[in-house]
Amino acid sequence: MTIRAGVFGATGYTGLELIALLAAHPDVALRFAASESRAGRSLRDVHAGAPDVPLIRPHDAPVGDIDVAFLCLPHAASATTAAWLLDRGPRVIDLSADFRLRDPAAYRQWYGADHPAPGLLGTAVYGLTEVARPLLPGARLVANPGCYATSILLPLHPLAGVGATRGTVIADSKSGVSGAGRVPKLHTHFVEVAENFAPYSIGRTHRHIAEIDQALAAWSAAPPLVVFSPHLLPVTRGILTTLYVPLAPDWDHARVHARLAQAFAGEPFVRVLPAGEAATLAHVLRTNRCVVGVHPAGRDGLAIVTSALDNLVKGAAGQALQNMNAMFGLPETRGLTA
Amino acid sequence: MTIRAGVFGATGYTGLELIALLAAHPDVALRFAASESRAGRSLRDVHAGAPDVPLIRPHDAPVGDIDVAFLCLPHAASATTAAWLLDRGPRVIDLSADFRLRDPAAYRQWYGADHPAPGLLGTAVYGLTEVARPLLPGARLVANPGCYATSILLPLHPLAGVGATRGTVIADSKSGVSGAGRVPKLHTHFVEVAENFAPYSIGRTHRHIAEIDQALAAWSAAPPLVVFSPHLLPVTRGILTTLYVPLAPDWDHARVHARLAQAFAGEPFVRVLPAGEAATLAHVLRTNRCVVGVHPAGRDGLAIVTSALDNLVKGAAGQALQNMNAMFGLPETRGLTA
Amino acid sequence: MTIRAGVFGATGYTGLELIALLAAHPDVALRFAASESRAGRSLRDVHAGAPDVPLIRPHDAPVGDIDVAFLCLPHAASATTAAWLLDRGPRVIDLSADFRLRDPAAYRQWYGADHPAPGLLGTAVYGLTEVARPLLPGARLVANPGCYATSILLPLHPLAGVGATRGTVIADSKSGVSGAGRVPKLHTHFVEVAENFAPYSIGRTHRHIAEIDQALAAWSAAPPLVVFSPHLLPVTRGILTTLYVPLAPDWDHARVHARLAQAFAGEPFVRVLPAGEAATLAHVLRTNRCVVGVHPAGRDGLAIVTSALDNLVKGAAGQALQNMNAMFGLPETRGLTA
Amino acid sequence: MTIRAGVFGATGYTGLELIALLAAHPDVALRFAASESRAGRSLRDVHAGAPDVPLIRPHDAPVGDIDVAFLCLPHAASATTAAWLLDRGPRVIDLSADFRLRDPAAYRQWYGADHPAPGLLGTAVYGLTEVARPLLPGARLVANPGCYATSILLPLHPLAGVGATRGTVIADSKSGVSGAGRVPKLHTHFVEVAENFAPYSIGRTHRHIAEIDQALAAWSAAPPLVVFSPHLLPVTRGILTTLYVPLAPDWDHARVHARLAQAFAGEPFVRVLPAGEAATLAHVLRTNRCVVGVHPAGRDGLAIVTSALDNLVKGAAGQALQNMNAMFGLPETRGLTA
């Protein structure tokens, strides 16, 4: 089987990563890569190391010729494009935030505008692959999760579902700069980032809080509240989240470790480290892995969990491909590094 | 007044920083810089950017000629040298951990050996300058605090003393590589650190826990317990600690901000940022500042505090000089960048 | 004596560096810092680590109250401001390229527009301090040299003047990112620069060629031709130039070394390394030094010279201050790190 | 066909890279990975991101079971191991310098000791694949070229052979830190490398000069002399060489460009950029490419050539695999990124 794919928004960091992965996937034929701003050029003109893929205008895209479209567009633009595409045939994997929240009111609260296609919200599958797996073969529209959210939700899923944690989970996250996008800003200028390290959107103010809350509420009758502090790391890619997880009675870090090890035992892309080993960016860069460590906190009733992934792979393009594999009945590992 | 100073352990990163500061201090005459391993060379042979200071053998040091000795030695070696020096006249500022703990049993527990000079432990002043100030003019032996401990204890001091916090404070700290010392190790190899980010000694296992516990117990009848997770940042210097501070009833983040702003109002080296602004490494590099931000956590009963300093300055050599200034009756800001 | 100074263009990297140096200079009173875009704010709002200096509108600047104005403005804007200032009293040190070339036709060729104040070109002193020293006390307008040009011209001056080199000198230069300015561009985005290294403006196409040619022609009847290749280094600051210097008969690398050592023997800011030692960025960062190494090339008739400086200090703000010291009769080292 | 392969010296940076490539190669079965120091562990214990490959003692290696052995050993150890292996069956690809020089006297001069297996020197093929191609199918012992040498020799080969260059070629090279190996040294300590940039082994003193001289002498009756200055870049990987190439009469940069474009037209791994575009590390990281740019120097008789490759791929493990492919009759691109 060959899956015919198209990409919208090819020139950002997520688009570049996705096209490199698609180009190397044995069962995918990349039919087109579209870019509003750079149509007529090669992707290689945009990024020296990229494959030589021609960029076309989005409205010239042969959308009737593809089985699946990947959207690496800004929010709002993504929803509009998705609606247009779904009327024309292909299935859609949206890497923006547009279809992650099921409630249009929540979308308005966090994104400051009415949702462009609220009627589609109920049809989208939130594509945290390890959780969404049963729904993916039938999905026409998949909302790829946020990078921070993936690093936080994956290790919490097996714990929230059994009531191992409640109360306030603290997620202290650190991300590489590619997560901030490719449009030059002062806060991504090399001189401002190198030798610096900076928190931002501390507390419960970052937009990924919305999808984290929604997922935990779906998984647990008494979901924990996540307090989330992102920080900007002077590296190009990678997220490490340090989670401080309050435990229910009868739980300790060893039981947390056993629970996570058992829950992810068969998962090709989630690796639970031996007790006491910490997840690091070196475990995950340029792979689709999420690596998880469990640690005693030095007092009862609290465990520390470290969680690492590559924001451009498991946090974006890789998980999108994993979702595509599941949607089309391929092994999830196809075309991905486990 | 000219203070005659000598340095032992001149060639590590702390020694280099200290000598650069001493060389620029208007009231200090640097009498000698001693190094066991590099005696006979210039400090400039060890570090290209350093002043041209001759390195002598420690046992050749004219210790009767100085008013104060700075020890930048490994622990245990430091205590032995301090005891030898105190018998010969100079006052001693020890940048190692040897005199930070008052209890020899705690020293044995954390450092795995008997203390080489237990009789001196009771005489040492724990030199967190802003707190220790009244004791410094009379001190003969000052234990310079740890870099992580300084970033954690400074913002907690005004809170712990009034009972604003109790329970478990989480300190998620991130440090540059100079904190790991200059002896080459695999984990400080450029290729292992660049593009990486890694937790280590998570929970309550890092040695700085001991001095943090001791200080908080001295300041509060119901001290909080600090859970502390250090991480290695791919930068040369700087520490940022993100503190998650549970609050007593009647406290919220605004009151925490007001309390810290009032407590540090007159302090030249502690800057409390306007509400909502986060401390970053850019605020503090190559200065003796500790910069503090206070943030709402998004739920009642919890505040987030960000605290930044330069591990080689306020976290080591700069605070040592600040202590020297206070010991000898000089303005604390002399020779330091506020 | 107190020199009353004002700065125009305070918020770029050069302006920030200059204001930090001026604020620490014992004989300078900084009267104002002007910024078109950020007037009404503090310099600290622009850069977290900067001094708390209010920014005023350029046209509100009390220019009658100052002895010297520093211009850290874009070219063309600088010349216009200089002309306006010189009519009103203060002496001017221009850190832009506007007054480096004496010939208006050369200016038009390299900068693509007519010079805004051609009548002033003949009055400006090209402020490579070690060479320009005799002219500085009487100068009303000083053109501070370019950062690359300084790294190339300083070691060539003693050689060109005695005919030690002729033919084609190759200058392979590498610069940190602050040299590209603070306005965010894709080529200064952290993700594009980190882990990358890139040549640009190779051959004789970079604008600094013009001032290099002009200086060498003034120093030698048979000046060498400089082929110049700049490269962008993934560091925040510093320039290292590797010079390949063809030698006249009777010259070898040892004689080159002796000539440079003798020429710079009394210079506080130029350090000629012992034979065989290479200049590195570590020698010069955050100092006003230019450090020079001389090396055999492994064949007769060629020497290799390495030259390092900090582009923001000796390559810009530091040399400007050194020039100010010389203009006002102060020791050149005042307020600077040698 | 499946090629059965073994690796000696699996835990250095070259070994890690090679094993990752072998593990992903569709026609290779990795039979073993040997390490003297880490036998009994997994490669993943040595490097967090590596495949989970068991490490065995070299003397336990089933050398009769493999078709090809890769040696990533220090020099001298490599020659001894190669001799032992060649007696036992497998073909050998040596990534050390031991078989690059054909003359035992040259080996002694550059490596300071007698060659351990001089009788094999005449049998080794110098594996600059694009040049050695015809000899590889019959080779039993291949000497993989040095990383710097590859970046210099590849673009010079088509020029030297037709007499386009003679005299002194200047090769100003810049390399990432992985080229210095994984054993921790002060000069590879993160704090010494970050924000620094340093020349070393300037002139004609670096060992790669020997293989460069030997190759050019084989290709040309009047070979150019290469003056070579390596520099250490603060990046983990990648080499960029800027070549200053004196031209024979009738040659200019446009003809150089045409010659290189024509010579490499069919090569999957050598990309000659359009005129005026410069090679950068971003073109080549994590690929087996060598990317080449040609530039006017701004004066007659000289061209500038920029050449970039990844020192661990085309400069080591990738070229080794390319050689293996050619030795065993596979397409050279198999298992490699072009």
Q: Judge whether C189 is closer than 8 Å to chain A, CB to CB.
A: yes
User: Which residues of B are less than 8 Å from A198 in CB distance?
Assistant: 240, 278, 280-282
pLDDT < 70 regions, chain C: none
Provide the sign of the torsion angle of the four alpha carbons B233, B285, A177, A39, taken in this order: negative
Name the minimum distance, in Å, from the CA of D283 to any CA of chain A.
4
Nearest to D214 by CA among D163, D152, D271: D152
Q: Binning pLDDT at 50, 70 and 90, where does residue A222 land? A: very high
Question: Hey, what domains does chain D have and what are their CATH numbers?
Answer: 3-123 (3.40.50.720), 148-311 (3.30.360.10)
Edge-to-edge strands, sheet with A28-34: A55-56, A28-34, A3-8, A68-71, A91-94, A141-143, A125-126
Overall pTM > 0.95: yes
pLDDT in tens, D261-293: 999 999 999 999 999 899 999 999 999 999 999
| The pLDDT of residue D166 | 87
Chain D, 227 to 256: residues with Cβ < 8 Å from chain B are 234-237
Give partners of A (≥3 CB pairs < 8 A). Answer: B, C, D
Q: Judge whether D280 is closer than 8 Å to chain B, CB to CB.
A: no
Please say if the pLDDT value at position A1 is more than 90: no
Nearest to C116 by CA among C86, C156, C149, C148: C86
Nearest to C314 by CA among C268, C278, C264: C268
Angle at which helices C253-263 and C147-160 cross, to 10°:
110
> End-to-end CA distance of chain A, in Å?
22
User: Which residues of A are less than 8 Å from C178 in CB distance?
Assistant: 191
Chain A, 66 to 125: residues with Cβ < 8 Å from chain D are none
| The pLDDT of residue C102 | 96
Interface touch D190/B186, C-beta < 8 Å: no
| The pLDDT of residue C1 | 79
Mutation for C interface: B46, B283, B312, most C CBs within 10 A: B283
Nearest to B29 by CA among B62, B3, B51: B3
pLDDT in tens, B222-273: 999 999 999 999 999 999 999 999 999 999 999 999 999 999 999 999 999 9
Name the minimum distance, in Å, from the CA of C282 to any CA of chain B.
6
User: Which residues of B are less than 8 Å from C285 in CB distance?
Assistant: 49
Interface touch A191/C236, C-beta < 8 Å: yes
CA triplet D287, D292, D294: central angle to 5 degrees? Answer: 165
Bridge partners for B228 per DSSP: B171
Report DSSP state, residue B165: B
Q: Judge whether A321 is closer than 8 Å to chain B, CB to CB.
A: no
pLDDT in tens, A70-120: 999 999 999 999 999 999 989 999 999 999 999 999 999 999 999 999 999
| The pLDDT of residue C166 | 86
Q: Which two tokens stand for residue D140?
A: 């039993």
- What average pLDDT score do residues A143-158 get? 98
pLDDT in tens, D23-53: 999 999 999 999 999 999 999 999 999 999 9
Report DSSP state, residue C115: -
| The pLDDT of residue D178 | 97
Please say if the pLDDT value at position A166 is more than 90: no
How do the pLDDT tens digits run along chain D, 338 residues long?
Answer: 799 999 999 999 999 999 999 999 999 999 999 999 999 999 999 999 999 999 999 999 999 999 999 999 999 999 999 999 999 989 999 999 999 999 999 999 999 999 999 999 999 999 999 999 999 999 999 999 999 999 999 999 999 999 999 899 999 999 999 999 999 999 999 999 999 999 999 999 999 999 999 999 999 999 999 999 999 999 999 999 999 999 999 999 999 999 999 999 999 999 999 998 999 999 999 999 999 999 999 999 999 999 999 999 999 999 999 999 999 999 999 999 88
In sequence order, what DSSP letters do the residues of C272-325 get, joined into one string?
A: EPPTTPPP-GGGTTTSS-EEEEEEE-SSTTEEEEEEEE-TTIIIIIHHHHHHHH
pLDDT in tens, A266-301: 999 999 999 989 999 999 999 999 999 999 999 999
The half-sphere exposure of B281 on its side-chain side, counting CA atoms within 13 A, is: 27
**D203's torsion region: left (phi>0), alpha (psi -120 to 50) or beta?**
left
- Specify whether the CB–CB gap between C235 and D195 falls below 8 A: yes
Please state, in angstroms and rounded to a whole number, the distance separating the CA atoms of residues C18 and C36.
Answer: 17
- Specify whether the CB–CB gap between C288 and C221 falls below 8 A: no
| The pLDDT of residue B317 | 98
The more confidently predicted of residues D302 and B89 is D302
Q: Binning pLDDT at 50, 70 and 90, where does residue B1 land? A: confident
Q: Judge whether C316 is closer than 8 Å to chain A, CB to CB.
A: no
User: Which residues of C are less than 8 Å from B280 in CB distance?
Assistant: 48
Helix segments in chain D, DSSP class H? 13-24, 43-46, 77-86, 104-111, 129-132, 147-160, 190-193, 208-219, 253-263, 318-327
Mutation for A interface: B197, B239, B280, B300, most A CBs within 10 A: B197
Global ipTM: 0.97
| The pLDDT of residue B166 | 87
Q: Which two tokens stand for residue C7?
A: 């700065």
- Strand segments, DSSP code E, in B155-289 are 168-175, 198-199, 225-232, 239-246, 270-272
For chain B, percent of residues with pLDDT exceeding 70: 100
Asked if B290 is an active-site residue, the reply is no
Name the minimum distance, in Å, from the CA of C152 to any CA of chain D.
16
- Specify whether the CB–CB gap between B303 and B4 falls below 8 A: no
pLDDT in tens, B113-149: 999 999 999 999 999 999 999 999 999 999 999 999 9
| B20, C220, C226, D335 from C249: Cα distances, Å | 44, 17, 19, 54
Please say if the pLDDT value at position A229 is more than 90: yes
Q: Binning pLDDT at 50, 70 and 90, where does residue B276 land? A: confident
